Chain A
């Protein structure tokens, strides 16, 4: 029978020694913000709200360590490690081992025996080494979670027995009393709106105790109160989130997180307590930075009152039953916290979704190269994750593209929506499309880190026939093919035949004469015919016009433009859409003689027969209008007709400044 000797003289023992190793707040992000329950999204401090682990993408590992900011601190203390895994689309599990999540109290009893000071007492240990959770996503906006925490409570009573025979004290084996409590918490996370997240956590929903304390030690048992944590976070702007939390245990917290570009975050929070200590019990602040698969966070927690937090406390004020959580209590000390989170694995959840795809225009084979930089469409995307991401969009049309084209990455904050342009690099096969067709254009969006894609959308893409033209004069230039071998061959042959006459031309008139020679040769070979489809949206390629020896106004214009371009003469289209009757729209040609206006009389004494305008180099030169529909009548007639039309439309009708005449350079 072991018993404490009753006659030991107690000499006024009054101090409790504390060794509060840690809390289970081993996430610096959680510590910096304070109100973390509505923001839990991985294994970091998942016991704050187990419902949050449904956001784990695959494997999720977090490690925490800290430095206590108290006298005699031994430096870094390993706090714990958490590991989570998404096991089904909507189901995730997590476990946590927190070696450092422990508190130790020493209650010394000092007395003097035969004038020799002797200290005996109790050692009280609380720790919470293990926790596990399971989370399930009920819908895109609601998830629930269940977590279990094992809290060990141990009292070691040091005992001595007075031996009446030897008249000496001898130490007896410690009297150890131990209680293990398994607490079950249940949490809910609900996002009624994209910007709002609510959380409810019922702490101590169920408790399973194993072991007991003797009656005289019962007062050292931790609180078994059940309480409710209510939290809410609001995204005030795309990069600022505010969070608040209230507990029926009379505590609360308020925090804010600001995300900058480059995955950098700043956080701060205040902790409140209504237990008689200062209302604002602590202030937290932290920074974080993430890069692809990992993130690093640092936080500092500073308590406004240092009473009981420096390692000692008065015995009469020591009240373990007031400790409702090892997370935060009156004995927790200031600290600097470090945590690291790593994401790994193959399975990943979508970070970005497609809100819609709009194909802006059909693909005209003649102008297919333009889509390399000019968007063929756009995709509306949304960052559905709770972290900043880089989003890319890819576009692919099978057979007509060799590989998908990818947009530049766009930085997006959580919840943000943006539109990304879709470009397309078509291959040569598109030029072989004879008739208009519809093909599937696949749009993929992915967020960094990404391996394949987060979302996919199949859009309908109209690919027109190779001769189709959208009616815009800007697109007509894509039918001009001066480098076509048949064009080059033709112009060389013609110029060679007129080598002698061209050799006698005055300096400065070479291009004018070349154009005249080419035109007359061209005119003598061709006849004007209507579009085979009786419409204005069919254009022949110049080599076909030469081969077929005929074409309509568009065909003739693009062909003659190609011929002139092939010998270095610049051209421009004049597009006339009469305001009184747009169905009578018409295109004819200007070509650059390269001649200075000072020498205009060398071409014609009538200045109405030519136009002075700047060329590509910004130099004013004389340009000649040519109406190709009358080309069979020869160069002079086509020139006169073109000049007359230009004068009527531009000078008299003021069509150029009124917008119904456009001049589009071909280069």
Chain B
């Protein structure tokens, strides 16, 4: 009887694993996972079910294959960092709200004009000493890994999360934004996510860059014209 129950539990677990969540199907080379807000990477094995707050990382020669909800397969090439929480589709409304919060401090309560803003913290502090150690910027290598993860999202059709992730990465690794392809990816992701107005803004901003080659300029211009035509402007 116990054996039957054990078999049923294993089969059930397999079904669950197959039907829901993201499962690591194949691993090759250096592949790690980081759970939640932990700071350390740990080894991961084939068959492990990833949690929504996990982050995957492949090393220089690492490869991984993920299976999403028992169907869609996502290949992680080498040198990729991707958040499992980004492997999902956001609705257009959710994406728009997220973008709005990117632009304005929408998450904060805006005090009404007729309400007194009680200044509870009035103390002004000046620099009281000379700092001893200057900070160094984030390692661009890690930023590149994260950007590669963004491209994985885009290539697998997760346009909303790839657009948001790309903006987040560029915010933390500004030098990556100097590459035309990277900025183009944001515009394309927004366009693919059917946020044409936002995409148009990105293309227009990109077109104003002085560093574009003629070919890049033509590409952006054609997209701007196309989107304006669609918008009836």
Tell me, yes or no, whether A binds B.
Answer: yes
Q: Which residues of A contact B230 (CB under 8 A)?
A: none
Q: Given A602-B135, A647-B53: A370 and B118 within 8 A (CB)?
A: yes
Q: Are B37 and A667 in contact (CB under 8 A)?
A: no
Q: Which 9 pairs between the two chains have the least Cβ-Cβ distance?
A: A507-B131, A568-B125, A657-B97, A565-B121, A506-B133, A373-B116, A643-B37, A601-B138, A663-B107
Q: Are A483 and B123 in contact (CB under 8 A)?
A: yes
B 15-74 contacts with A by CB, 8 A: 34, 36-39, 52-53, 55
Q: Which residues of B contact A656 (CB under 8 A)?
A: 101, 107
Q: Are A598 and B174 in contact (CB under 8 A)?
A: yes
Bound CA–CA A507/B135 (angstroms): 6
User: Nearest Cβ in chain A — how far from B148, in angstroms?
Assistant: 15
Q: Identify B120's interface contact among A480, A602, A605, CB under 8 A.
A: A480
Q: Which residues of A contact B122 (CB under 8 A)?
A: 482-483
Q: Which residues of B contact A372 (CB under 8 A)?
A: 116
A-B contact pairs, 26 of them (CB 8 A): A369-B116, A374-B116, A477-B118, A478-B118, A482-B121, A483-B123, A504-B132, A505-B131, A506-B131, A565-B121, A566-B123, A567-B123, A567-B125, A599-B138, A602-B135, A606-B37, A607-B172, A608-B55, A612-B172, A613-B105, A647-B37, A652-B85, A654-B94, A657-B101, A663-B109, A666-B121
Bound CA–CA A567/B109 (angstroms): 23
User: Nearest Cβ in chain A — how far from B73, in angstroms?
Assistant: 23
User: Nearest Cβ in chain A — how far from B207, in angstroms?
Assistant: 24
Q: Which residues of A contact B210 (CB under 8 A)?
A: none
Q: Which residues of A contact B36 (CB under 8 A)?
A: 608, 644, 647
Q: Identify B37's interface contact among A369, A510, A609, CB under 8 A.
A: A609
Q: Are A482 and B123 in contact (CB under 8 A)?
A: yes
Bound CA–CA A609/B115 (angstroms): 34
Q: Which residues of A contact B116 (CB under 8 A)?
A: 369-370, 372-374
Q: Are A666 and B120 in contact (CB under 8 A)?
A: yes
Q: Are A614 and B105 in contact (CB under 8 A)?
A: yes
Is residue A474 within 8 Å, beta carbon to beta carbon, of the partner chain?
A: yes
Q: Are B121 and A664 in contact (CB under 8 A)?
A: no
Q: How large is the interface on B (under 10, 10 to 19, 20 to 34, 35 or more residues)?
A: 35 or more
Q: Which residues of B contact A613 (CB under 8 A)?
A: 105, 107
Q: Are B133 and A507 in contact (CB under 8 A)?
A: yes
Closest B-chain residue to A503, C-beta based? B129
Since A507-B135, A600-B172, A648-B53 are in contact, a sample of 4 more A-B pairs with Cβ atoms closer than 8 Å, ordered by chain A residue number, is A506-B134, A595-B135, A640-B37, A640-B38
Q: Mark B131-145, 1 if CB is under 8 A from A, else 0.
A: 111111111001000
Q: Are B37 and A598 in contact (CB under 8 A)?
A: no
Q: Are B172 and A503 in contact (CB under 8 A)?
A: no
Is residue A20 within 8 Å, beta carbon to beta carbon, of the partner chain?
A: no
Q: Which residues of A contact B134 (CB under 8 A)?
A: 506-507
User: Nearest Cβ in chain A — how far from B106, in angstroms?
Assistant: 9
Q: Which residues of B contact A506 (CB under 8 A)?
A: 131-135
Chain B interface (Cβ < 8 Å from any Cβ of A):
34, 36-39, 52-53, 55, 83, 85, 90, 94, 97-98, 101, 104-105, 107-109, 112, 114-125, 129, 131-139, 142, 168, 171-174
User: Nearest Cβ in chain B — how far from A662, in angstroms?
Assistant: 7
Is residue A481 within 8 Å, beta carbon to beta carbon, of the partner chain?
A: yes
Closest A-chain residue to B129, C-beta based? A503
User: Nearest Cβ in chain A — how far from B18, in angstroms?
Assistant: 22
Q: Are A599 and B120 in contact (CB under 8 A)?
A: no
Q: Mark A609-625, 1 if CB is under 8 A from B, else 0.
A: 10011100010100000
Q: Which residues of B contact A664 (CB under 8 A)?
A: 108-109
Q: Are B138 and A600 in contact (CB under 8 A)?
A: yes
Is residue A604 within 8 Å, beta carbon to beta carbon, of the partner chain?
A: yes
User: Nearest Cβ in chain A — how far from B153, in angstroms?
Assistant: 14
User: Nearest Cβ in chain B — how far from A645, in angstroms?
Assistant: 9
Q: Given A506-B132, A608-B37: A570 and B121 within 8 A (CB)?
A: yes
Bound CA–CA A599/B94 (angstroms): 29
Is residue A493 within 8 Å, beta carbon to beta carbon, of the partner chain?
A: no
Q: Which residues of B contact A567 (CB under 8 A)?
A: 123, 125
A 638-665 contacts with B by CB, 8 A: 640, 643-644, 647-648, 651-652, 654, 656-657, 662-665
Q: Which residues of B contact A607 (CB under 8 A)?
A: 168, 172
Q: Mark A350-369, 1 if CB is under 8 A from B, else 0.
A: 00000000000000000001
Q: Which residues of B contact A566 (CB under 8 A)?
A: 121, 123
Bound CA–CA A595/B115 (angstroms): 31
User: Nearest Cβ in chain B — how far from A562, in angstroms?
Assistant: 8
Closest A-chain residue to B164, C-beta based? A651
Q: Given A372-B116, A373-B114, A663-B108: A652 and B53 within 8 A (CB)?
A: yes
Q: Are B168 and A612 in contact (CB under 8 A)?
A: yes
Q: Are A652 and B52 in contact (CB under 8 A)?
A: yes
Q: Which residues of B contact A505 (CB under 8 A)?
A: 131-133
Q: Are B114 and A612 in contact (CB under 8 A)?
A: no
User: Nearest Cβ in chain B — how far from A633, in angstroms?
Assistant: 15
Q: Are B173 and A598 in contact (CB under 8 A)?
A: yes
A 454-506 contacts with B by CB, 8 A: 474, 477-478, 480-483, 503-506
A 579-609 contacts with B by CB, 8 A: 595, 597-602, 604-609
User: Nearest Cβ in chain A — how far from B95, in angstroms?
Assistant: 9
User: Nearest Cβ in chain B — how far from A393, in angstroms?
Assistant: 16
Q: Identify A667's interface contact among B120, B125, B136, CB under 8 A.
A: B120
Closest B-chain residue to A666, C-beta based? B120
Bound CA–CA A465/B134 (angstroms): 50
Q: Identify A374's interface contact among B37, B55, B114, CB under 8 A.
A: B114
Q: Are B131 and A510 in contact (CB under 8 A)?
A: yes
Bound CA–CA A637/B211 (angstroms): 46
User: Nearest Cβ in chain A — how far from B67, in angstroms?
Assistant: 20
Q: Given A609-B37, A644-B36: A665 and B109 within 8 A (CB)?
A: yes
A 493-530 contacts with B by CB, 8 A: 503-510
Q: Which residues of A contact B142 (CB under 8 A)?
A: 601, 605
Is residue A572 within 8 Å, beta carbon to beta carbon, of the partner chain?
A: yes
Closest B-chain residue to A479, C-beta based? B120
Most central of B123, B173, B174 by chain A CB within 10 Å: B123
Q: Which residues of A contact B85 (CB under 8 A)?
A: 647, 651-652
Q: Mark A245-287, 1 if CB is under 8 A from B, else 0.
A: 0000000000000000000000000000000000000000000
Q: Are A477 and B120 in contact (CB under 8 A)?
A: yes
Q: Which residues of A contact B121 (CB under 8 A)?
A: 480, 482, 565-566, 568, 570, 666-667
Closest A-chain residue to B81, C-beta based? A607
Bound CA–CA A613/B174 (angstroms): 16
Q: Which residues of A contact B38 (CB under 8 A)?
A: 606, 640
Q: Identify B94's interface contact among A595, A614, A648, A657, CB under 8 A.
A: A657
Q: Which residues of A contact B83 (CB under 8 A)?
A: 608
Closest B-chain residue to A477, C-beta based? B120
Bound CA–CA A147/B137 (angstroms): 96
Q: Given A568-B124, A601-B139, A608-B53: A370 and B115 within 8 A (CB)?
A: yes
Q: Are B94 and A598 in contact (CB under 8 A)?
A: no
Most central of A478, A656, A657 by chain B CB within 10 Å: A657
Bound CA–CA A409/B127 (angstroms): 48
A 129-179 contacts with B by CB, 8 A: none
Closest B-chain residue to A480, C-beta based? B120
Q: Which residues of A contact B107 (CB under 8 A)?
A: 613, 656, 662-663
A 558-577 contacts with B by CB, 8 A: 565-568, 570, 572
User: Nearest Cβ in chain A — how far from B147, in angstroms?
Assistant: 13
Q: Which residues of B contact A477 (CB under 8 A)?
A: 118, 120
Q: Identify A602's interface contact among B101, B117, B136, CB under 8 A.
A: B136
Q: Which residues of A contact B97 (CB under 8 A)?
A: 657
Bound CA–CA A652/B55 (angstroms): 13
Bound CA–CA A602/B137 (angstroms): 8
User: Nearest Cβ in chain B — how far from A191, in angstroms?
Assistant: 37
Q: Which residues of A contact B37 (CB under 8 A)?
A: 606, 608-609, 640, 643-644, 647
Q: Are A568 and B115 in contact (CB under 8 A)?
A: no
User: Nearest Cβ in chain B — how far from A384, in angstroms?
Assistant: 29
Bound CA–CA A254/B59 (angstroms): 95
Q: Identify B109's interface contact among A474, A483, A640, CB under 8 A.
A: A474
